[in-house]
Structure 1
Amino acid sequence: MPDINRIAEFAEDLARRAGELVRKEREQNTLRTDYKQQTELVTHADVMADEMITGAIREQFPDHRIMSEETMPDLEQAEQLDTPLWIIDPIDGTVNYAYGHPQVAVSIAYAEKGRVQVGVVHAPFSKETFRAVLGQGATLNGGFISHSGATDPRQSLFATGFPYTKDALEPLVNRLNAMIHRCRDLRRIGSAALDICWVACGRLDIYYENVSPWDFAAARLIALEAGATAGHFSEVPEGMPADLWGRDILISAPEIWEPVRQILRKASGYK
């Protein structure tokens, strides 16, 4: 296996380069957009950044596998544990990107045997880079970070998100109703990776959602290395690495994780 700190440096450099690409594309060019699966927005910058990142990984590590949102969104890759896996989201927060909002991130994770070892989330418009290596803590622009230390859900700020398709919203609305009555307030940021990184650095206390591995894999490690608790409020299927399972994900300051988990389970009708 390659040196993990070398991997982290490589991933951060890639994320910064991709971030510069997507920043320049938005600032200098007419934004070109399209839709995949009829509802999910994608921009030309998504594809350009994806190809740049995956091309660099293939050149440097030709025997590694890649799971990326835009060009290789094969979720079965998460179940194959024999070779190292890169998990890429070239633009997390594409709608924000298209509308000129700053909450946009490049997310790059590196996993071995289903366990994420390196996570980098770079926000090019706010010039913030979150990074973690397993067992080495989490940083923001080189300085160590930690969770908020929240102890009471009622005094806690939470974030969540909603899918592009709107045909199964009732369970999500039930959860939102339960949480908004039991927490301080909601923030809807529009980037799962940044939601989770903001839990890691104490700007949020709680995050929950159903997301894909490329949305959360890097940020989840960052939150864990910042001392937050990460898990699920439903069961992870047998044989699926928890690090890469995104259904009913819950990440929060440690003392409120279990109370919030119970709120979400009850609102979801889980026994």
Structure 2
Amino acid sequence: ESEIRVMTKSSTVDLVTKTDERVEKIIIGSLKEEFGEGTFIGEESVAKGEPCILTDKPTWIIDPVDGTTNFVHGFPFVAVSIAFAVNKELEFGVVYSCLEDKMYKARRGKGAFCDDEPIQVSDVKDINKSIIISEHGTDRSPEKVTKIFSTMQKILCIPVHGLRGSGTAATNMCLVATGAVEAFFEIGIHCWDIAAGAVIVKEAGGILLDVDGGPFDLMSRRMISANNETIAKRIIKEIEIFPVVRDDAPIEKK
């Protein structure tokens, strides 16, 4: 459709459509109407120069269309991701997988659900019986791509049952939460990709860590979510880390 006018964002692979911007406006407008003024971190707002710093204020973290490239190509995994944080603590998250028509949600301390049915992570502890999910990211610099494929090769040769990628981080995290896969990791994602999924994975009984095994940091742009520590630590051994600029890094003035 002419409505899906594709522009380029930070790279030719990171596609954006007018739909992204429109959906974000609708979501923020609805939240303001329902809950009054608040603080918002949204993918499109940040792209236009809004700050991306998580404070103690009640904050909505929004990805209007997670899987924009999928959306443009008609690849059937696209999600809307909305999370809410207070005092830098994620309180609840909602991920709507649009084309599957599945609604995932979780509130801190209250469990995780898909279409109102409780969900929980897989109980697999044997890495050889696991499916691991990851993405190639949008950076196509050869040195980063080499590290990404080297990591994937090492994980595949552990061996694991399989490596997958849906093209949307929010959906990937929901797949961990439902037990369809054992872990999802990525370097280069953004806080709006994973904020809602982080609550859902945790409330489904899973864990979140930095890719170096340290504590999960929403703004670090690197994360592994897994069903348990055994699987997470085994995957972490194989991850080749490369540098990425934090979401909350100061914007350099030109």
Where structure 2 has 5 or more consecutive residues not aligned to the other structure, the ranges are 243-254
Q: Which amino acid aligns with 2:172?
A: D
User: For residue 229 of structure 1, what is the aligned residue in structure 2?
Assistant: 207
Q: Which amino acid aligns with 1:191?
A: T
| Cα distance in 1 between the residues matched to 2:181 and 2:213 | 25
User: For residue 202 of structure 1, what is the aligned residue in structure 2?
Assistant: 179
Q: Which amino acid aligns with 1:128?
A: K
| Cα distance in 1 between the residues matched to 2:50 and 2:108 | 23
* Deviations 1:199-242 (CA, angstroms, capped at 9, x unpaired): 00011111000210000000011000000111112276xxxx94
Q: How does 1:248-259 map to 2 (within 5 A)?
A: 248-254=222-228, 255-259=230-234
* Deviations 1:145-172 (CA, angstroms, capped at 9, x unpaired): 0011111111110111122220132221
- Aligned-residue offset at 1:125: 1.1
1:174 corresponds to 2:150: yes
| Cα distance in 1 between the residues matched to 2:50 and 2:152 | 27
Matched-pair contact (CA < 8 Å) for 1:229–1:252: yes
User: Comparing 224-233 with 55-64, which one deviates more in the overlay?
Assistant: 55-64
TM-score w.r.t. length of structure 2: 0.85
User: For residue 216 of structure 1, what is the aligned residue in structure 2?
Assistant: 194
Q: How does 1:11-160 map to 2 (within 5 A)?
A: 30-39=3-12, 40-73=14-47, 77-81=52-56, 83-160=57-134
| Cα distance in 2 between the residues matched to 1:173 and 1:150 | 25
Q: The residue matched to 1:196 in structure 2 has which SS?
A: helix
- Aligned-residue offset at 1:192: 0.4
Matched-pair contact (CA < 8 Å) for 2:208–2:224: yes
| Cα distance in 2 between the residues matched to 1:101 and 1:250 | 24
User: Comparing 91-100 with 134-143, which one deviates more in the overlay?
Assistant: 91-100
The structure with more helix, counted as a fraction of residues = 1
**Identity among equivalent pairs (%):** 28
Matched-pair contact (CA < 8 Å) for 1:216–1:246: no
* Deviations 1:229-266 (CA, angstroms, capped at 9, x unpaired): 11112276xxxx945234331111113122222232xx
User: For residue 188 of structure 1, what is the aligned residue in structure 2?
Assistant: 165
Q: Which runs of 4+ in 1 moved over 6 A?
A: none
From the superposition, tell whether residues 212 and 232 of structure 1 become closer, same or farther in structure 2 (CA, over 3 Å).
same
User: For residue 3 of structure 1, what is the aligned residue in structure 2?
Assistant: none
Q: How many residues align?
A: 236
Q: The residue matched to 1:78 in structure 2 has which SS?
A: coil
From the superposition, tell whether residues 45 and 32 of structure 1 become closer, same or farther in structure 2 (CA, over 3 Å).
same
User: For residue 247 of structure 2, what is the aligned residue in structure 1?
Assistant: none
User: Comparing 99-108 with 135-144, which one deviates more in the overlay?
Assistant: 99-108
Q: The residue matched to 1:244 in structure 2 has which SS?
A: coil
| Cα distance in 2 between the residues matched to 1:180 and 1:235 | 20
Matched-pair contact (CA < 8 Å) for 2:211–2:241: no
- Aligned-residue offset at 1:60: 3.3
Where structure 1 has 5 or more consecutive residues not aligned to the other structure, the ranges are 1-25
Q: Which amino acid aligns with 1:188?
A: G
TM-score w.r.t. length of structure 1: 0.80
Matched-pair contact (CA < 8 Å) for 1:206–1:252: yes
